[in-house]
Structure 1
Amino acid sequence: MVAEKMRPDDPLFDHQDVIPHRSALNMSGVLAALVSVGLPLTTGVIEGWSLLRMVAYLVLAAGFLGLVMGYLLWSRITCWANRRIGLFLTLSGLAGAGLLVISGEHRTQPLALTVPLVIAVLSLSPRQASWVGVSYLMLILGGLWLGGVRVSEVLFTSVAIYASIFLFMYAVVQIALSQARQRQQATALADENARLAREAGAAATLAERNRIARELHDTIAQGLTAITMQLEAAQRAFERDPERARVRLARAHELARTTLGDVRRSVWTLAETSLSDQQIDFVLQQQACQFQDRTGIATTWIYAGPGLALPPEQAEQVARIVQEALVNIEKHAYARHVEVGLDSDEAVYRVWVRDDGVGFDAALPIASTHGGGFGLISLRERARLAGGDLHLASRVGGGTTLSLILPVDQKRDEER
């Protein structure tokens, strides 16, 4: 009666746990099967069916209920029926039609075929399930005719009623399947987003580790290597040339101080900046003061507005941008004065770091500048994460200005 092939994307067959409240759906199917079989039997007992008719009905009813209830309640029978879905639906349909022939009851007896119909809709493609529905309507018509219902109006009314019921149940099940597929897709998308977030976090961690490794190699490791070389040279020259040995020791002492400064700068750069209870203007002012105290470079803080609170993730990136900019000034700019500023209007926040150092030719490729390309790339990435734009202006001998432009979150601003 129907094809053996099941639908490849069937949530009930391949993903039985996707359908919500599946146990309730199964129990409603069991109840429908019992009612459709029990009510005609009760009517037959009242009407005084013959013993042969009663026995035939009970045997066929037991076979029908065994098929349907076995499918709904026992997983082994479900698996067996799913592998032979065409045979299962055919036997269920013929058993339901046989019950119609024996009882001749046109009101509730056809309800028996609604249960295998729902199984067909869950298990087959829409086109195949439609053919099952049409076949079952023909079985209802034939079963009632053979059962003694010969009034055309009763026949076609029963078929029309159950055609409407079949269509309604088909639509409901299709909606449920569509929602199940959407939930599957949403779950898959959430899992994919989580995977990408983990990969992004791992990539960010790796990039930070690489940056730290470069920092340690370019400053501390090279400094310690130079100190070791000076001490070894002083040790070799100590007896034959004491003056040269003292020069070597003085040079080693100077390198040790420089390396200590590099260590302190690296620790300051890596230190966590807690922004949970602090406003960003206060944090940036602290950074400017700490930079001046640590380096001796005159540093001015410019901001005259009220306390400014940003979302923690955004504030963290802003603080890191200013921190890295100050480290670059210390390492490369040879500046005598630094200015750190913040202002805002209705549309944007502006953060800038300006120095009067040696500057560089902004027209040259980034990698050609004295600071290399990685620092500026890192700053631009942080600006992107903060939701802003980074601007760099510099000229040889004229200092450098680094500006960060952030759009104002109007909704957050109104809530404050």
Structure 2
Amino acid sequence: METAALLFETELLVAGLCLLAGLSLFMYWRQRHQYMALHRLQARLGRERATREQAEQALADTRRQVCHLSASQQSLRDAERRRIARDLHDDLGQHLLTLGLELRALGASQPALGEIVDRIDGHVQHTLRAMRCVVRDLQPEALENGLEAAVNGQLAQFSRLSGIPCQLDARPDAFTAAQDCRDAGVDKMVYRILQESLSNIARHAHATQVSVAIARAAGRLDLTVQDNGVGCQQSPQPTDRTGASTGLRGIAERVAEAGGRFDVASAPGQGTALTMSLPLTTLH
């Protein structure tokens, strides 16, 4: 009896040890499996992170290249504008001045022709003033004092000439952002776009209030020009026979050339909001 009991206890002990060993092996295998799975997951996450970083770097490089290309094209356009401005001022301007002097001399020598000469001279002087306006527009002097002064001056002139009150909402860092990207022509781009937007409002909107907002966001400069005018029927390519389509297309082309985004929000009787987002990438 004692021998049988001892054998039974021994078998139970051996079975318990085997079961414990089996459980230990199972736990080891499970932990090993989990460790390998975690290691594979970490490796995959690392590869995905590296791929994403490479893609982000490639995107940043592409944006810099686009910005460099846009800056180069803008520099060529600016150089051509300066050449045209000089030619108009030095050549056509001189001819118009000479013509005016000769007309005055003719009027002095032929008093009977005085009325006709004065009328022709008036047309010459008007042409000379129009030519000077074209020269100033080709080579804007307003930006010599910075974008902030140019925008404020433009809005003040718009309100004075159109009689439409104009409100500006802009923090100082918005203008600093444009100065940081001066090599890319962002300040000139904003000035020209605002100029064309206000011109469209004066010609077509029949508005009584205009608001302009300039804000700096992450990597971009946002410009919004909004009026409370008659609005228009939205269309990807406006076809307004009054000429508004030409102005909007010109703005859209300028923004696209800078690698930005242009949106129009409008409805008949609800006014129009033009929103432009320009990338801010400093060129070195």
Q: Smaller-chain TM-score range?
A: 0.3 to 0.5
**Which has the higher relative contact order, 1 or 2, with Cα contacts under 8 A spaced 6 or more apart?**
2
- TM-score, normalized by length of structure 2? 0.48
**TM-score, normalized by length of structure 1?**
0.34
Return the index of the structure with the highest Cα Rg.
1
